[in-house]
Structure 1
């Protein structure tokens, strides 16, 4: 253990000690490895007091909601960031909102935005054909594999985008990423669209391999070979790779940056009206995470979102996320992000935290005049 990690653990103290002496590894809609007893530190995400970020002379953020987010953030046994932004009014509130959290499959949202931006610029069409071949297969969750014939799977860009976003298909996403020009194209899009506080990783195959302390090889296509190779790695190699990733996640994002970008998407500030509607419609059809943020919805509320699920090692979970747009019956919309960097809490407790954040927003909206 490095002297820096010892200092981090001493600073954490009390109830945060268990959240710092932890292990990890899997991702973007994955299946956990066999339990192992290991001690690995959680990411050095800076835990800050809840921040109010009024953009200019906007209405004051609600103290009631801010207080509830603080209560939920403090009460969760793990490293969590929470942010909520009122799309129409412009205020935002957060707990640990400027920490950098692993996105995992939330990053598929940025591939979708980059692709639709290319459609708006006339370099792609949603009805263009695209083929997924066996050599394109990645790892973990990839339903598109079952759709392949001897010559692969040919469909439209629109359909492959829907598969990537609604089913969090890693292979579909990576094929679309290459079609738009790779990670550098996404980063260039961030610059053009003035999106800040969000990083984009090297793509699913390379990201997950580096998290595990491996290098991707073509023979790993499909995932089973990759899992066998990872299982053969010495534990110290995996732990060291994990520490590097959590200390400086290649796909790190700030919850505040996340809700700012989602709010701009909803307002039509990033894509054309047609492309905005396409993406929001696809996000509303998401099949992943029905009991995360969505599980706390009030009657007649709508939700469009993207989840992310990171690698696990033993009882430690990482990158357990849900971000999206909550729309009230009266049309008022809130961008919400809950990002759990690491925790030993079971799935039901993670989902309960997310549902309680949604309930806090619903309660706030119901307590004020339209």
Structure 2
């Protein structure tokens, strides 16, 4: 049930809405990609270099009261189902609103695929220079800029360029090709469990996830998305609503906000990947072109954000899976993992983006006094 909210006036933002994660379209950048399928990721973590030494920080047993109050107020006032979590990576405290309830991830799940790819690089099973041929049968649906490049003979690129497309443009096809290169959904789940990322699930892959969310079963002939859109449009509103509610009640790709900030903190401390692979993945996340008016909108000069957005399907005025998660770094190097996950709401996009920016503003304001 949606909780009533006092609305603040927010001006229309028109063209500034930018790229979202799963559904929107965009002009693709130049991408390369390609190599024969690699074996699944093993559940055992490969040896990794020790974390980079950082100056010792005083351990604070409790979070700043002002930040706790701000997070609780923002979560409680928002008209919709939302989860918010903030974790101080260096001092260890955390605050949350609804932080342990699984929420749809949508394209936030590309973060875990990116980690799996870089883990395979660390283990010597993949190289970012490995060639890949993306075929028409590999195409997914919704946001996939690479689709324009895939001709009858396919498109020749590399693992590294596919990773760039998945992390900076949230390209669904780039991500799904990488997903199967590292062994599929089960391999991601094993990796997360083996490396201590609790509270994070992983869905069945983009095509099956979106089909099930709409109450359909994916068909291979829908590759590219056109057939799926036609089949979805032919469904009754009642059938789609029932399927969407089923997804919201028990998300196939569900994760908790606390689990995501745990995963981000482990990544930031080089506990999931080697330092070199961590730096590469975070650089791609900082270069992301999606969601510039979400978490990033609340930052002050000198702060940086390495993040991953997610955007789910809409039905009428109901929007689902509107997310932004990432690693905030202050000018003095202090680090905060943050997750804002809107499972469902009827609030317009500017209101959702304002909430995310307000979370970032609260972090900046209460940690720099």
TM-score, length-scaled by structure 2: 0.85
Q: CA RMSD in A?
A: 1.5
Instruction: Tell me, in whole angstroms, the C-alpha distance in 1 between the residues paired with 2:21 and 2:66.
Output: 34
**Alignment match, 1:239:** 241
Pairwise CA distance, 1:91:
0.7
Shift of 1:180: 0.5
* Structure 1 residue matching 2:368: 3-state secondary structure: helix
Name the structure 1 match of 2:123.
Answer: 121
Contact residue 22 and residue 142 of structure 2 kept, 8 A? yes
Tell me whether 143-152 or 72-81 shows the greater mean CA deviation.
143-152
Query: How many Å separate the matches in 2 of 1:103 and 1:64?
Result: 28
Instruction: Give the drift of 1:365.
Output: 2.0
CA gap of 1:31–1:120, structure 2 versus 1, over 3 A, is closer
Confirm or deny that 1:29 pairs with 2:18: no
Tell me whether 1:185 sits opposite 2:184 in the alignment: no
Deviation at 1:181, TM superposition (A): 0.6
Does 1:278 pair with 2:271? no
Partners of 2:151 and 2:223 in 1: CA distance: 16
Select which of 225, 228, 252 maps to 1:226: 228
Within 5 A, what are the aligned runs for 1:1-370? Answer: 15=4, 28-30=21-23, 58-367=60-369
Question: What is the CA distance between 1:58 and its match in structure 2?
Answer: 4.8
1:307 match: secondary structure: strand
Distance 1:118 1:192 in 2: 14
Q: Deviation at 1:31? A: 5.0
Spell out, residue by residue over 1:129-166, the C-alpha distance to the aligned partner (whole angstroms, 9 max, x if none).
11111111110000001122332111110111000111
CA distance in 1, matches of 2:60, 2:360: 23
Q: Going by fraction, where is helix more abundant, 1 or 2?
A: 1
Q: Distance between the aligned counterparts of 2:245 and 2:362, measured in 1?
A: 34
Shift of 1:29: 2.5
- Any stretches of 5+ residues in structure 1 without a counterpart? 1-8, 17-26, 33-56
Runs of 4+ with deviation above 4 angstroms = none
Contact 1:28/1:140 (8 A) holds in 2: no
Shift of 1:270: 0.9
Give 3-state SS (helix, strand or coil) of 2:91's partner: coil
Structure 2: segments with no counterpart, 5+ residues: 6-19, 26-58
Out of 306-315 and 149-158, give the one that drifted further: 149-158
Partners of 1:28 and 1:358 in 2: CA distance: 20
Which string of whole-angstrom CA distances, capped at 9 and with x for unpartnered residues, describes residues 228-257 of structure 1? Answer: 011111222212211211111010111011
Hey, what's the Cα distance between the residues in 1 that align with 2:366 and 2:271? 26
Structure 2 distance, partners of 1:163, 1:325, is: 20
The whole-number CA distance in structure 2 between the counterparts of 1:233 and 1:149 is 31
Query: Partner residue of 1:47?
Result: none
**1:258-278 CA-partner distances (Å, limit 9, x unpaired):** 111101101111101111011
How many residue pairs match? The answer is 322
| Deviation of the 1:84 alpha carbon | 0.4
Distance in 1 separating the partners of 2:361 and 2:146: 35
1:131 is paired with a residue whose SS is strand
For 1:169 and 1:295, the matched residues in 2 are separated by 22
